[in-house]
Amino acid sequence: MDNKIELEVGEILNRVPSDLNLVVMLHEKGGDRSLPLLVGLLEAQSIAINILKMKMPRPNIYDLYVKTLEQMDAFLEEVFIYKLENGVFHSYIYINKDGNSQYIDSRTSDAVALAVRTGVPIYIDSNLFDGHCAHKEGNGAFSMPITVASIDVLQEAMEQAVESENYELAAKLRDEINRRNGTGFENNI
């Protein structure tokens, strides 16, 4: 597919100190945009271990997967992030065996953990990236579209917007929550 952008793993950020999820920032290669990817603690740890080139005493599940591919004379070719549904990115991992490439649907966090481990490129559909990327602000913070936040985060942000009487933002957040829930826009804020 010619319509893709290459990404590389950047920072791993904490959303809130007590949160059980972290954000892996996937930076546009040669660009200034990023894709915030919400991942679990174990996936973030596996990504960080490989970025920092740490050696673990025993293989983890990603090491096992890579070793299994090697034993089968196959290898990971690339990762492709192809859609966003209900705030969750979906990916394919492309496996090559004997010159034949096949794809397997994967959680994006797992696909990125495998890509970091094997050094294969991570791609995203350019239209998907254009619609959901984060832009770096002058103060070092990122402005992120609401489409990449979880419903819980959107709900909390909507409540805060109502409390601060920012009804325009509250309405946008409500509309995104309703869109994901498949409901109309008749709910009150």
* Closest CA relative to residue 63, chosen from 24, 112, 114, 120: 114
pLDDT recorded at residue 184 = 52
Percent of the chain past pLDDT 70, that is, above it, reads 84
Residue type, 40: G
Which parts of 6-76 fold into alpha helices (H)? 41-51, 61-71
Q: What is the pTM of this model?
A: 0.75
Report which secondary-structure segment, H or E, holds 180. helix 167-181
pLDDT recorded at residue 62 = 93
pLDDT recorded at residue 186 = 43
Q: Is the pLDDT of residue 69 over 90?
A: yes
Top pLDDT among 28 and 157 is at 28
pLDDT recorded at residue 178 = 83
CA torsion sign for 134, 135, 141, 145 is: negative
pLDDT recorded at residue 187 = 41
Residues 149 and 26 sit within 8 Å (Cβ to Cβ): no
pLDDT recorded at residue 189 = 39
Per-residue pLDDT tens digits for 10-45: 988 876 555 677 888 899 999 888 888 888 888 989
CA 91 to CA 155: how far, in whole Å? Answer: 26
Report which secondary-structure segment, H or E, holds 101. strand 100-107
Q: Is the pLDDT of residue 173 over 90?
A: no
Mean pLDDT (whole number) for 92-118: 97
pLDDT recorded at residue 163 = 86
